[in-house]
Structure 1
Amino acid sequence: MKYKMLVVDMDDTLLNDNHIISDENTAMLLKAQELGVYVVLASGRPTSAMIDYARYLQCDINNSYMISFNGSTITDLKEDKVLFEHSLSKEQIHSLYDFSLENNTHIITYLDGKIISERHSEYIDLESTITGLELVIVPNFKDAVTTSAVKCLLLEEPVYLKTVEPKLKLEQPELSVCMSKPFFLEAAPTGVDKGAALQFLANKLNIHQSEIIAIGNAGNDLTMVQYAGLGVWVDNVDPELREFGDVIVASNNEHGVAEVVRRFILE
């Protein structure tokens, strides 16, 4: 069997628009694990917002791993322990807050399993709904953030937020910056992304990149799609990314992940 690891983004890739793993995707991922393939969920989500999905797919009892916070954290699911975690410093988070004010975006971070923000917004409330994390409204963001955190999100209307992305990359080149959804601009420590986390995990498991499939749909998936021996986009991929994958399969609503398993692992 050529492929030993299948790395799958969650939102808008594995999950359909109702945030559910289809029966078709579930069956194929279980089958891949029966054949000895590591199934690794890789998401911008916090670890706590992924773990139930990983257990549902039996990734824990199949000795697999999970990449969360866009590559900031890797978890050994069998041992229930963190292999590594990279964080933004308090000073970096405060600088991002200042940038958000100057550029008229909302900002959130994650502390003690909760979302920290100064206010509600359509997109902040959506992040709370998607992740299932409690949203804590604080009177002063900087006063509330007195320690490091794995990442920040800048949130705003998609067309406008896309213009903010190059500004953030230019002004704070020490950060790893990418879009995870059209209204989510992610900021993490430099060198932290899904591709780097995947490379770390592959080296640990002695798996060559040619033996890896990675499936995604958005800008924060690009590094892992390009690192993998077979980089796959689901059909609902952001249009500007289509040319950077090896294969395009059915959309997240049409069981694209199951298609990958059938075509490239079972055959």
Structure 2
Amino acid sequence: MKYKLVAIDMDGTLLNSNNQVSERTKVIIEKAKNKGTHIVLSTGRVLKSALSYSRSLNLKNPIVACNGAIIVDENANIIYKKPIDNSLVKEIVNLAMKKNIYYHFYDESRFYSHVKVDEVLQFYNEGNGNTIIDIKVFQDIEEIIKLKDLNVYKFLFIDDNRAKLQDLRMDLDKLGNIGTSSSWANNIEAMGLNVSKGEALRELCNRLKIMPEEVIAIGDSENDLSMLTFAGLGVAMGNGDKFIKKEADYITDSNDEDGVAKVIEKFVLE
């Protein structure tokens, strides 16, 4: 099978524990690009962060960001977007505040929250010095909801108490037009209903006239499952969640052992 597109998650997959892309992976990605393969970042991150990494790798390919809520083309033009219904934003914020759970949400380039947590910003800003993600701290959610052309693509909730997170997730699911997922053991993510990396990848492949069986998807967490299921070859990272490995067609090495590079070498370059 000739694979024409490789969709790659970022955190825990493309990026190592230092939030960097290894030199070996850079070389292998460049070889795959030169062969005509589409290398598509497919991430839960804010678009601005994904764009920065894409540019540093000189990918010049589409990007799926915010867990599939937004797609940009090779020129960074938005070609698809499914933001959260703004009528739900206040209700979601109130749920998090009531349960005393940290949250932020974001548009294409900025975080919004009622509190600034330096550790969160550091995580997104480290590893790639070309991008600084800003945060808008607000006192009243009404001031944000009133912003003209506001697009909220994703909420991220973080708490070490998993029981609290699961309780919040159940409440979010009851809202109706919200879909939930997770990318780390200590977080819950909320997007618009039926928003996922898999659905975004389906949309992108339709535009590129690429069949699912011509796609490799590589990931490590729950929010990657939909694209691993969509792709002809779904690959789980060695450091990935157990249930992701169970559902995958193939398991590669960890993100600190050039797992992504090894998949591309084996299935694209050989």
Q: Common fold, TM-score beyond 0.5?
A: yes
CA deviation after TM superposition for structure 1 residue 166, in Å: 4.3
**2:73 corresponds to 1:76:** yes
Q: Which residue of 2 aligns with 1:243?
A: 246
Q: Which residue of 1 aligns with 2:216?
A: 213
Q: Residue 91 of structure 1 is aligned with which of 87, 91, 97? A: 87
**2:107 corresponds to 1:104:** no
Equivalent-residue separation in structure 2 for 1:142 and 1:33 (angstroms):
45
CA deviation after TM superposition for structure 1 residue 105, in Å: 1.3
Equivalent-residue separation in structure 2 for 1:169 and 1:138 (angstroms):
22
Equivalent-residue separation in structure 2 for 1:158 and 1:178 (angstroms):
16
When structure 1 is superposed on structure 2, of 90-99 and 230-239 the one drifting more is 90-99
Secondary structure in structure 2 of the residue aligned to 1:224? helix
**2:136 corresponds to 1:140:** no
Q: Which residue of 2 aligns with 1:40?
A: 40
Cα displacement string for residues 4-26 of structure 1 (whole angstroms, at most 9, x for unaligned residues) = 00000011100001010001111
Secondary structure in structure 1 of the residue aligned to 2:72? strand
* Residues 29-68 of structure 1: pairs in structure 2 closer than 5 A: 29-60=29-60, 64-68=61-65
Secondary structure in structure 2 of the residue aligned to 1:164? helix
Q: Which residue of 2 aligns with 1:157?
A: 160
State the number of aligned residues.
263
Equivalent-residue separation in structure 2 for 1:4 and 1:168 (angstroms):
40
TM-score calculated relative to the size of structure 1: 0.91
CA deviation after TM superposition for structure 1 residue 240, in Å: 3.0
Cα displacement string for residues 174-206 of structure 1 (whole angstroms, at most 9, x for unaligned residues) = 212100222331111111110000000111111
Q: Which residue of 1 aligns with 2:191?
A: 188
Q: Which has the higher helix share?
A: 1
Q: Which residue of 2 aligns with 1:22?
A: 22
Letter in 1 for 2:64: I
Asked if the contact 1:66/1:74 (under 8 Å) is kept, the reply is: yes
Q: Which residue of 1 aligns with 2:264?
A: 261
TM-score calculated relative to the size of structure 2: 0.90
**2:207 corresponds to 1:227:** no
CA deviation after TM superposition for structure 1 residue 103, in Å: 2.9
Cα displacement string for residues 92-147 of structure 1 (whole angstroms, at most 9, x for unaligned residues) = 11111122133331221124732111113476445554573112221123333324
Equivalent-residue separation in structure 1 for 2:123 and 2:62 (angstroms):
24
Provide the identity percentage.
28
CA deviation after TM superposition for structure 1 residue 159, in Å: 2.5
Equivalent-residue separation in structure 1 for 2:263 and 2:253 (angstroms):
9
Asked if the contact 2:178/2:191 (under 8 Å) is kept, the reply is: yes
In structure 2, relative to structure 1, the CA distance for the partners of 1:23 and 1:161 (3 Å cut) is: farther
CA deviation after TM superposition for structure 1 residue 263, in Å: 1.1
Asked if the contact 1:175/1:187 (under 8 Å) is kept, the reply is: yes
Equivalent-residue separation in structure 2 for 1:73 and 1:202 (angstroms):
14
Equivalent-residue separation in structure 1 for 2:62 and 2:180 (angstroms):
24
CA RMSD of aligned residues (A): 2.0
**2:143 corresponds to 1:120:** no
Letter in 2 for 1:72: A
